[in-house]
């Protein structure tokens, strides 16, 4: 099993996603002789998982069932253990596009955090690219190395435990893109410039506060970056619902019905447009936004090394 290569069969040691519903899923490490408890009953790894195909429908001990899904960066983002605040797919998608990532790209990242963005970047740059990720916190760095090894992507990523603002990324003039998610990104702009290739490399800084953005933009200008721009991505979800609206009385409906011999008591006329006019309402499908929406997460500042 690997997050960048699809495997058809569930094997001992794999990380799989137990899917109970769109709002209910969780990761599990498949191990021979282990059981996993769900609200639908027990899943026995030896008999219910190992050897089965990903996507299989598994019946639990209480008669309920779940699906076992192959892990992807998107599913991992929704289910990973949070060691820090993470980036979600809404921001990750625009970061991947604006940094112009592709297979073979070399990317520097700080900080690693819970590895949400890291997995997406690794999947994008595979099979010939590489991610150099720096994490200030030693325990988080060690946990990230362990997860990358378990997920079969350790050959595509190098994890370093150091302060990027003081010591940089540990590489020079090779990166196609740099991503910063640290409290004071303006202190790392110089190291980011050193890590980027000689010309045309892209940089992105994620900051929750506009004051951080202002200082970062000033530092980017000082180090000669161009095409500096800041984005904010807001996700707004719409529900499709049936809406009933009252038809305005223009004084012609009754006259039209009488002139055409319309009989509202006739069952054959109940579904006709004239019947809706007689009832005074019309129904149609419409997109209605949710009363609550995901608000501000952070500002994304992009720039190019000239």
117 assigned ligand-binding residue: yes
**Cβ count near 88 (within 10 Å):** 16
7 assigned ligand-binding residue: no
231 assigned ligand-binding residue: no
Scanning the structure block, which residue is given the tokens 């500096």? 228
| Residue in 71, 72, 67, 75 with CA at minimum distance from that of residue 49 | 67
Cα-Cα-Cα-Cα dihedral sign, residues 205, 208, 212, 214: positive
154 assigned ligand-binding residue: no
**Cis, peptide link before residue 75, omega less than 30° from 0:** no
Query: Do 68 and 56 form a contact (C-beta atoms < 8 A)?
Result: yes
Give me the residues paired with residue 2 across strands.
Answer: none
CA distances 273 to 6, 80, 245, 261, 284, Å, are: 53, 52, 14, 14, 12
Scanning the structure block, which residue is given the tokens 């721009």? 229
Sequence-separated (6 or more) residues with CB below 8 Å from residue 224: 193, 305, 306
CA-based R_g, the chain, Å: 27
12 assigned ligand-binding residue: no
> What is the helix (H) or strand (E) element at residue 108, kind and residue range?
strand 106-110
135 assigned ligand-binding residue: yes
> What whole-number distance in Å separates Cα of residue 79 and Cα of residue 254?
59
114 assigned ligand-binding residue: yes
Residues annotated as binding site?
114-117, 135, 163, 181
User: What are the binding residues for S-adenosyl-L-methionine?
Assistant: 114-117, 135, 163, 181
């Amino acid at each position: 099993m690997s997050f960048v290569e699809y495997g058809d069969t569930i094997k001992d040691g794999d990380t799989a996603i137990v899917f109970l519903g769109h709002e209910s899923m969780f990761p599990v490490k498949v191990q021979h002789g282990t059981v996993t408890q769900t609200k639908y009953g027990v899943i026995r790894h030896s008999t219910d998982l190992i050897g089965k195909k990903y996507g299989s429908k598994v019946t639990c001990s209480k008669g309920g069932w779940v699906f076992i899904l192959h892990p992807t960066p998107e599913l991992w983002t929704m289910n990973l253990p949070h060691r820090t605040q993470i980036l979600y797919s809404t921001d990750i998608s625009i970061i991947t596009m604006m940094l112009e990532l592709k297979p073979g790209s070399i990317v520097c990242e700080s900080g690693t955090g819970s590895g949400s963005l890291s997995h997406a970047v690794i999947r994008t740059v595979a099979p010939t690219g590489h991610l150099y990720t720096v994490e200030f916190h030693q325990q988080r760095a060690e946990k990230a190395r362990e997860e990358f090894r378990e997920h079969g992507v350790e050959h595509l990523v190098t994890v370093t435990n150091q302060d990027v603002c003081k010591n940089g990324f540990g590489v020079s003039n090779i990166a196609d893109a740099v991503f910063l998610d640290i409290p004071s990104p303006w202190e790392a702009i110089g190291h980011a410039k050193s890590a980027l290739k000689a010309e045309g490399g892209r940089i992105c800084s994620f900051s929750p506060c506009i004051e951080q953005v202002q200082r970062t933009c000033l530092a980017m200008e000082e180090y000669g970056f161009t095409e500096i721009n800041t984005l904010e991505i807001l996700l707004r979800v719409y529900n499709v619902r049936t809406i009933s609206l009252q038809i305005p009385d223009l004084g012609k409906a009754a006259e039209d019905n009488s002139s055409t011999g319309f009989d509202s008591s006739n069952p054959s006329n109940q579904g006709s447009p004239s019947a809706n006019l007689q009832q005074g309402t019309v129904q149609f499908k419409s997109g209605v936004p949710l009363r609550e929406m995901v608000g501000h997460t952070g500002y994304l500042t992009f720039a190019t090394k000239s």
